[in-house]
Amino acid sequence: MSDVNPNKSEFDSSNLLVFLIKWRKQLLIVGIAAALISAGVSLMITNKYLSTVIFFPAQSSSLSKAVMTLDAGAKNDISTFGEEEQAEAMLQILNSDKIKWKIWGKYNLMEHYEIDPQGDLAQTKLGKTWESNVSFKRTEFNSIRVDVLDTDPVMAMNIANDIAALVDSTKNEMLRKRATEALVVIEKEYTDMVEYMQDLDDSLTILRQKGVQEYDKQIDQITKVYYEAIAAGKQNVVKTLESKLDTLAKYGSAYKSMTENLEFMRERLVLLKGKYDETKVDATQNVTHKFIVNEATASEKKAYPVRWLIVVVSTLSALLLAVLTIIAVENYQRFSKDIK
């Protein structure tokens, strides 16, 4: 049986227990000191409270398509939850500067986070503090979770609920802007088509005054009577009918063309009117684009910091560092002796 040589600095990993017993006093001192310091530091950290909003994005973003369009596949049903695509789009809106700036301004977060607005990189500091306190993520169920940490539980609740509300107003604003631009185009096309149809109708009215009423029927009836009059030798009737036939021959093709064109334009006008009505609804809509599962409430229990976890992690980290330091010192001492 060989004694453990205290001067032997070579560390043998298979004899870890011996190593720990040898340096137990030093490690105990490090552990107690680390625990006390980390406990003191954790007590200095300001408590933060967590408020959470959970919602599902809606499948359809267009009110007109959801309530005015026949959709046998129910793809635009306003009661249908959105899928991954809608959830990802919602996350992009949540991360938009527009929502951040509105919340920052409403709650004066520069002052609330104790950031000097005249200091260097004030906006950058505010942005980093915001990102550390506010987070958005898509859950495994394709819902959206909004988490807000704050030193004031009521402030955390209000910010979380306002963020969820701003999703609707921001998306509505985006959709209305696009629909308004489309409405201008459709409205002009609709107005031009109505004016063109009125011009056609006015031209047809002039042709009707000239005696062209229903070209196809007229030409058949007058032709039939014309040949009967010739056969009967009624020259006065023949001349009268020839005059009518000349009128039909002169204006008939134009009448027929304008009539067919007017009928075609009426069908197009019906479709365009439907599109106009849908776009007008989209340009003025103000609807929700989400289904709220949980609204934020003021938390009664702090969520941060977890003091016991800070103490445990800090103490273990300090002990590990101490062990590594001792090993390094022992190896250095051994290496120095070997050189000598």
CA separation for the pair 298, 126 (Å, rounded): 23
| Residues whose CB falls within 8 Å of the CB of residue 239, separated by 6 or more in sequence, listed in order | none
CA separation for the pair 141, 135 (Å, rounded): 17
- List, for residues 127-174, the tens digit of each pLDDT value: 999 999 999 999 888 899 999 999 899 999 999 999 999 998 888 888
**Digitized pLDDT (tens) for each residue of the chain, 340 residues in all:** 444 444 444 444 556 677 777 777 888 888 888 888 877 776 666 778 899 999 998 876 565 555 555 554 445 556 676 677 888 888 999 999 999 999 999 999 999 988 988 888 889 999 999 999 999 999 888 899 999 999 899 999 999 999 999 998 888 888 888 888 888 888 888 888 888 888 888 887 877 777 766 666 666 666 666 666 676 666 676 666 666 666 666 767 777 778 888 888 888 888 888 888 888 877 777 777 788 888 889 888 877 666 677 778 888 888 888 888 887 877 777 777 766 5
Element spanning 138, H or E:
strand 134-138
- C-alpha of 98 from chain center: 12
Q: Is 152 left (phi over 0), alpha (psi -120 to 50) or beta?
A: beta
Strand partners, 52: 147
Block residue for tokens 């720990």: 20
Cβ atoms of 130 and 249 closer than 8 Å: no
CA separation for the pair 280, 278 (Å, rounded): 5
Angle at Cα 18 formed by Cα 14 and Cα 22, nearest 5°?
A: 140
3-state SS, residue 78: coil
**Which CA distances in Å does 257 have to 44, 113, 253, 262?**
88, 74, 6, 8
State pTM to two decimals: 0.63
